[in-house]
Amino acid sequence: MSDQKSLDAIRKMKLENDTSAGNLVDLLPIEVQTRDFDLSFLDTLSEARPRLLVQADQLEEFKALNANIPQETRDLDNETTKRLRGKLTRQERAKINSEWLANANNSAEIVAARSTDSTFVLNHLDSILATIPQLPAVQERATPNYSIGAFGLSLGGAIATELGKSDQRVKAVVNLDGGLYGPNVRQAITAPYLMFYSSFNQGSNDLLLSDAPNLHEYTLPHSLHTDIHDMVLLMPLLRWLKVTRSVTPSLSIKLRNEQVREFFDGYM
């Protein structure tokens, strides 16, 4: 295969996986070891909430929601996206981003649904944990009360934020470079909150987090959004596509993990 064909193949692979990074495992030579786990509890959960156990194709989900959006609205959204990709001051980026996110109704719908799914998991945590081999029974643990922290990358960061607003069991939240989509985007989050930015997106959520009483911030130096994802360790060729910056993959993941661990250790 020629260099150009190889590059085209990588671009196609990245495009297909941009909205569902979990698919990357299908492209890697990973040997999956079989384990004798009792997963019968999944049958009950899937009947109660099928969405929980079936990972939707996020791209198709967005396509379905966007089907009825007028072309004029789509053009305006595309123009806003282009502006956010340009060179802006922190204040300009925060203003444009807050206006854009406040009107992102389709993404807000997805975030609300997945936050509800997460609450469902928390409601059934004991029964789920009871199925894990070699894990002490609930009554044998030192404390019956769990210390719950929520974190996520990109859209996952928005879901973690929404969960932190709606479920008081969540004691701390980490948002890894995610926009604040959600039905309660203007509602202040009261739980301790770490906003972990890529340097490109630094300050994007300033206006939407201005009322957070316990806000922490960290910016990964010399980074784009993709640099925060584990896939930078698995796919070094991403730099050829100019979707990463000069921070090395090993350093970016090391700094990310250290910041998240230190934050959660301080509040949980």
Question: DSSP for 54-104?
Answer: S---HHHHHHHHHTTS-HHHHHHHHHHHHHHHS---HHHHHHHHHHHHHT-
Residue 77: inside a domain, yes or no?
yes
pLDDT band at 251 (very low <50, low <70, confident <90, very high): very high
Q: Which residues, 6 or more positions from 109, have their beta carbon under 8 angstroms from its beta carbon?
A: 65, 183
Cα torsion through 218, 259, 102, 55, rounded to 10? 150
Look up tokens 């990972």; give the residue: 55
Residue 181: inside a domain, yes or no?
yes
Per DSSP, the residues of 135-172 read PPPGGGSS-SS--EEEEEETHHHHHHHHHHHH-TTEEE
Please give the DSSP secondary-structure letter assigned to residue 111.
H
Q: Which residues, 6 or more positions from 59, have their beta carbon under 8 angstroms from its beta carbon?
A: 19, 20
Render pLDDT for 15-25 as a digit per residue (tens, 0 to 9): 544 443 333 33
Is residue 57 scored above 70 in pLDDT? no
Q: What is the mean pLDDT of the chain?
A: 78
Residue 58: inside a domain, yes or no?
yes
Residue 2: inside a domain, yes or no?
no
CB 267 within 8 A of CB 192: yes
Q: How large is the average pLDDT for residues 2-18?
A: 52
Is residue 264 scored above 50 in pLDDT? yes
Overall number of domains in the chain: 1
CB 148 within 8 A of CB 123: no
Tell the burial category of 146 from Cβ atoms under 10 Å away from its Cβ (0-12, 13-18, 19+).
middle
> How many whole angstroms from its chain centre is CA 27?
21
Residue 33: inside a domain, yes or no?
no
Per DSSP, the residues of 222-261 read T--GGGGSTHHHH-GGGGGGT-S-SS-HHHHHHHHHHHHH
Q: Give backbone dihedrals phi and psi of 213, rounded to 5 degrees, phi first.
A: -75, -20
Is residue 253 scored above 80 in pLDDT? yes
Boundaries of domain holding 133: 38-267
Determine the longest span between alpha carbons in the chain, in angstroms: 61
Residue 22: inside a domain, yes or no?
no
CA 219, 221, 222, 228 torsion-angle sign? negative
Q: CA–CA distance from 120 to each of 49, 82, 113, 125, 212 (Å)?
A: 8, 37, 11, 9, 26
Q: How large is the average pLDDT for residues 135-162?
A: 79
Q: What percent of the chain has pLDDT over 70?
A: 72
Residue 155: inside a domain, yes or no?
yes
Look up tokens 């049958």; give the residue: 43
Q: How large is the average pLDDT for residues 240-265?
A: 92
Render pLDDT for 61-114 as a digit per residue (tens, 0 to 9): 667 767 777 788 778 878 888 888 888 999 999 999 988 887 777 888 889 989
Look up tokens 């643990």; give the residue: 141
CA 160, 166, 170, 173 torsion-angle sign? positive
Q: How many residues does the chain have?
A: 268
Residue 215: inside a domain, yes or no?
yes
